Amino acid sequence: MKKSIGAGTYAVPSPVWVVGTYDENGKPNMMTAAWGGVCCSRPPCIYVSLREATYSYGNILKRKSYSVSIPGEEHWREADYTGIASGRETDKFKDTSLTPIKSEVVDAPYVEEYPLVLECRVKEVVSLGLHTMFVGEVIDVKVDQDVLTNGRPDIQKIKPLLYGSGDRGYHSVGPRIADAFSIKTPPK
Amino acid sequence: MKKSIGAGTYAVPSPVWVVGTYDENGKPNMMTAAWGGVCCSRPPCIYVSLREATYSYGNILKRKSYSVSIPGEEHWREADYTGIASGRETDKFKDTSLTPIKSEVVDAPYVEEYPLVLECRVKEVVSLGLHTMFVGEVIDVKVDQDVLTNGRPDIQKIKPLLYGSGDRGYHSVGPRIADAFSIKTPPK
């Protein structure tokens, strides 16, 4: 018998993604978001949901572009800080000594030190309430070669952070369990 | 120096969620989706992205409701099977001996054996290409009491599956790393 705990954003896991944008003066900014995911395979699309109050929100609306840089778990402190401080008041790249790289395919910077980067052009903007979804078409993916396995990004090498909304904490990726798309008849 | 690997859905991690729906005859169905996430805090909203070819797609359009049941890692075989078989051809609840429970708040069933359930009413439908996003407002959350900590769902007790799109594999949740919202000054 399950217990009702009321409506809330208790779904797990959420990612920890760092959204890269330029402001109107060309200053690079980054902010951490946990409301994000993949939303279409063809064309490949992802989204991030941001509050209107964030500096990144205005930047994305103006530039129609953003990047998502995915930190490894060793960068949890930097990722946490960039989710708290505002680019309106400080330069978070300078604060953290992380390096903004200008994308060659979209009008946004990404984080050199984070192993996996998705460069996105805004495709849809969906206002839902406190948050607005920015659906972006993935124009290119950049990756550090040492996190590739058979030419593809390997979650076991990237070691991305997971966000748990129930405990407001960061968690790591554990061992690989199994191949997906392998159980083609009902399991016993 | 990063390597370009072309556009793709290589973002990590993705969740492994089981979407519960009723068909036009009231038969409960479930399908597994990895394209899903939280997209608004107030009102609380999540989404799942489905291909038009799925049985669930039509069910959601007709009933304007769905549930998301989040399996623990011990159910990876059932979750994998329910992502391959189609409800158009079989009864996946019977096949897996899992139990459909009729939601009292939305027009959809959920999976009794899975520890965390979000019951959703469709708020927005966004066609992106191969996939369509069904944004749902979370009307209630149901949870097994043994996965609660301080009254909230605990990812360390739920042990949800992670999907890695690069390796097409399932992965587990590892240890908790730290509290979020704790690094308020630039890390050294």
pLDDT by 10s per residue, chain A, length 188: 899 999 999 999 999 999 999 999 999 999 999 999 999 999 999 999 999 999 999 999 999 999 999 999 999 999 999 999 999 999 999 999 999 999 999 999 999 999 999 999 999 999 999 999 999 999 999 999 999 999 999 999 999 999 999 999 999 999 999 999 999 999 98
* Ordered DSSP codes for B54-74: SHHHHHHHHHSEEEEEE-BGG
Beta strand extents in chain A (DSSP E only): 3-4, 14-15, 17-22, 28-33, 36-40, 45-51, 65-70, 100-102, 109-111, 116-127, 131-143, 148-149, 152-153, 162-164, 169-179
Tell me which residue has tokens 């699309």. A45
pLDDT in tens, B136-174: 999 999 999 999 999 999 999 999 999 999 999 999 999
A17 contacts in chain B (CB < 8 Å)? 11
- Name the pLDDT band for B79 (thresholds 50, 70, 90): very high
Residue A17 in tokens: 């993604």
DSSP state of B160: B
A86 contacts in chain B (CB < 8 Å)? none
Distance of CA A161 to the CA centre of its chain: 10
pLDDT in tens, A73-104: 999 999 999 999 999 999 999 999 999 999 99
Q: Do B37 and A14 touch (CB under 8 A)?
A: yes
Confidence at residue A142, expressed as pLDDT on a 0 to 100 scale: 98
User: What is the least distance, in Å, from the CA of B105 to any CA of chain A?
Assistant: 11
Confidence at residue B31, expressed as pLDDT on a 0 to 100 scale: 98
Confidence at residue A107, expressed as pLDDT on a 0 to 100 scale: 98
CA dist A15 and A36 (Å) reads: 7
Residue A133 in tokens: 């979804």
Q: Do A153 and B166 touch (CB under 8 A)?
A: yes
* Number of C-beta neighbours around residue B3 at 10 A: 11
B39 contacts in chain A (CB < 8 Å)? 35, 47, 49, 126, 128, 131, 133
Nearest CB partner across the interface for A155, out of B6, B35, B166: B166
What does each C-alpha distance from B97 to A188, B54, B89, B107, B137 come to in angstroms?
Answer: 9, 22, 17, 22, 29
Confidence at residue B1, expressed as pLDDT on a 0 to 100 scale: 81
Tell me which residue has tokens 């900014």. A29
Q: Do A177 and B76 touch (CB under 8 A)?
A: yes
Tell me which residue has tokens 């390997």. A154
What does each C-alpha distance from A165 to A8, A15, A35, B52, B157 come to in angstroms?
Answer: 9, 10, 10, 30, 13
Confidence at residue B157, expressed as pLDDT on a 0 to 100 scale: 98
Residue A9 in tokens: 């954003």
Pairing of strands B162-164, B14-15: antiparallel
Give the pTM: 0.98
Q: Are B160 and B171 in contact (CB under 8 A)?
A: no
Q: Are B111 and B71 in contact (CB under 8 A)?
A: yes
CA dist B43 and A131 (Å) reads: 9
Tell me which residue has tokens 């520890």. B115
Q: Are A150 and A94 in contact (CB under 8 A)?
A: no
Q: Are A13 and B72 in contact (CB under 8 A)?
A: no
Residue B167 in tokens: 């390796």
ipTM for the predicted complex = 0.97
